[in-house]
């Protein structure tokens, strides 16, 4: 059940009231007793999921689920990270000199 804001046009009294959505709006001001209440339009609230029953993966798209299933079916190949530092620190190989036959 939502909480509604009310304003009395007669005495400017504002208050909140917790009532059903199907209930008729209140008309009588609790402070001055006049029938000048108006229900205000509020910003509302977003849906908040709290508790241990909600998981990030509960509402994934079908394409995401299929991709995940395909990834599990294919074994991953282990790749060794390339060490760039080792290549730059290594000494360049000496060029071999070819012997040319003498005539």
Q: In terms of residue numbers, what domain contains 9?
A: 3-40
Residue 62 maps to a domain: no
Residue 63 maps to a domain: no
Residue 91 maps to a domain: no
Q: What is the pLDDT along the chain (103 residues), one digit of tens a residue?
A: 788 899 999 999 999 988 888 889 999 999 999 999 999 877 666 666 676 666 666 667 788 878 888 888 776 666 666 655 555 555 556 555 666 666 6
Residue 34 maps to a domain: yes
Tokens representing 12 are 């400017």
Mode of pairing for the β-strands spanning 14-18 and 37-40? unpaired
Identify the CA nearest to 7 among candidates 20, 22, 17: 17
Tokens representing 55 are 């998981």
**14 SS3 class:** strand
pTM of the model: 0.42
Residue 29 maps to a domain: yes
Residue 81 maps to a domain: no
Residue 9 maps to a domain: yes
Residue 78 maps to a domain: no
CA distance 26 to 5: 11
Number of domains in the chain: 1
């Amino acid at each position: 059940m939502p909480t509604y804001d009310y304003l009395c046009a007669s005495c400017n009294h504002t208050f909140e009231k917790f009532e059903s959505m199907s209930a008729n709006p209140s008309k009588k001001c609790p402070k001055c007793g006049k029938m000048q209440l108006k229900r205000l339009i509020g910003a509302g609230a977003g849906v908040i999921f709290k508790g241990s029953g909600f998981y990030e993966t509960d509402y994934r798209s079908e394409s995401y689920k299929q991709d995940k299933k395909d990834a599990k079916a294919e074994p991953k190949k282990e790749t060794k990270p390339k060490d760039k530092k080792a290549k730059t620190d290594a000494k360049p190989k000496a060029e071999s000199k070819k012997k040319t036959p003498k005539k």
